Structure 1
Amino acid sequence: MSNPLFNASLLESLDFSDSEGIHFNPTITLKNPGNALTIRPLQRDDYDHGYYEVLRQLTTVGEPSLEDFQTRFDEMLACAGTYYVIVVEDTNTKQVVASCSLVIEKKFIRQCTKRGRIEDVVVDGSCRGKQLGKLLVLTAKKLARKLECYKLTLECEKDKIPFYEKFGFRNNECFYMVQRF
């Protein structure tokens, strides 16, 4: 493995014996996410493995250079315990085909605990329907619990609400406000 963003043993240590009402049909698991697929942390060389091509299916990413990517990767790596970018790799093509980010915010409230936030959930169009999004969100949720977050949040488009409700997320009537620059 080429310089991962976080220690892969964290993923290997997650307990999936209780899938919390999430069912996979056909059955896939963290250790066996599908034929020729593997789940792992983002790596420093994933710029050349289609990471941005997958992200472009979610939002605008611009045209970052390899140097831009590696600089940001190194900045995230330096913030140990904050960024957990989980990817699915097609082991035949060595290309990233799905991704999900878990960001850990350290708080002063609630006994100096942590809050988790799921971001940037995306599955390549060629791999949709294989339950990879579901597996990535469940993995991020389990990881947030393991890292002792007191809550886990995410933002999503209105049409995605039913998908996230399956994981126990609910609209808590708070207003999400944004100011873009």
Structure 2
Amino acid sequence: MCSLNEDSFVFSPSEIESLDWSVQSDWKDKLESLSLKIRPLQIDDYDRGFTKLLGQLTHVGDVTKEEFEERFKLMRETKLVRVVVIEDSNNNQIAGTATLLCEPKFIHQCSWIGHVQDVCVDEAYRGKGLGKIIVNCLKLLAQQVGAYKVDLNCSDAKIGFYSALGFKKEDGQANYMTCRYKN
């Protein structure tokens, strides 16, 4: 994958390399045919358009490179966050991203829950199956840490996409509530 120092990644690239991709056996060929590679977020991805890509998903704000690097280091140190990106090798830009937050629990024999967040594929790369690849990667990473389930919140328009990837509404649990704060 990459021969860079592991400290430059938010988590070890070996975690992705060791995944059993039988759930989506065509992922490698698909990425290679498009000159794309899947890997953990790197500290220099700020310069590859990472925050700009997230701006296609939601409001990001004016995040400086220094702020990005501080947050990156915090994520790496906690060891609970897996930010995965798909990079275009032709232009060294980030084409897609998604985040897995691994939450330790006392329930289910001190198991884990994986929370899928911030799934975004650049407009120029949509319709090529990258969203499917990156979400399946997060599901596999969640299994690797021992999660007993993976959840996510999505807009109504995305329910079909996530349903096709094995997510489903659970009876009595399909409510999403939030309390937002100004910052």
- What TM-score, normalized to structure 2? 0.90
Is the counterpart of residue 43 in structure 1 residue 28 in structure 2? no
Deviation at 1:146, TM superposition (A): 1.4
AA in 1 matched with 2:36: L
Deviation at 1:124, TM superposition (A): 0.4
* 1:26-74 deviation line (CA, Å, top 9, x unaligned): x841475142110000000111110011100000000110111000001
**2:52: which partner in 1?**
53
**1:177: which partner in 2?**
177
Fraction of identical pairs, as percent: 40
Q: CA RMSD in A?
A: 1.4
Task: Output the CA distance in 2 between the equivalents of 1:88 and 1:145.
Answer: 20
Is the counterpart of residue 15 in structure 1 residue 14 in structure 2? no
Deviation at 1:18, TM superposition (A): 3.4
Structure 1: 5+ residue stretches without partners: 20-26
Q: Give runs of aligned pairs for residues 18-29 of structure 1, distance below 5 A.
A: 18-19=23-24, 28-29=26-27
Task: Output the CA distance in 2 between the equivalents of 1:31 and 1:142.
Answer: 18
Task: Output the CA distance in 1 between the equivalents of 2:177 and 2:83.
Answer: 24
Q: Determine if contact 1:31/1:38 at 8 Å carries over to the other structure.
A: no
For the residue of structure 1 that corresponds to 2:62, the secondary structure is coil
Q: Determine if contact 1:7/1:41 at 8 Å carries over to the other structure.
A: yes
**1:146: which partner in 2?**
144
Task: Output the CA distance in 1 between the equivalents of 2:94 and 2:64.
Answer: 17
- What TM-score, normalized to structure 1? 0.91
1:157 to 155, 158, 183: 155
Q: Determine if contact 1:32/1:38 at 8 Å carries over to the other structure.
A: no
* More deviation, 61-70/28-37: 28-37
Task: Output the CA distance in 1 between the equivalents of 2:38 and 2:166.
Answer: 23
1:104–1:5 Cα change, 3 Å: same
Aligned residues, how many? 173
1:111 to 109, 113, 131: 109
Deviation at 1:108, TM superposition (A): 1.1
Task: Output the CA distance in 2 between the equivalents of 1:96 and 1:170.
Answer: 29
**1:102: which partner in 2?**
100
Higher helix share: 2
Moved >3 Å (runs of 4+)? none
Task: Output the CA distance in 2 between the equivalents of 1:113 and 1:120.
Answer: 23
Is the counterpart of residue 87 in structure 1 residue 85 in structure 2? yes
1:30–1:149 Cα change, 3 Å: farther
AA in 2 matched with 1:140: L
1:31–1:68 Cα change, 3 Å: farther
Task: Output the CA distance in 1 between the equivalents of 2:58 and 2:159.
Answer: 18
AA in 1 matched with 2:149: K
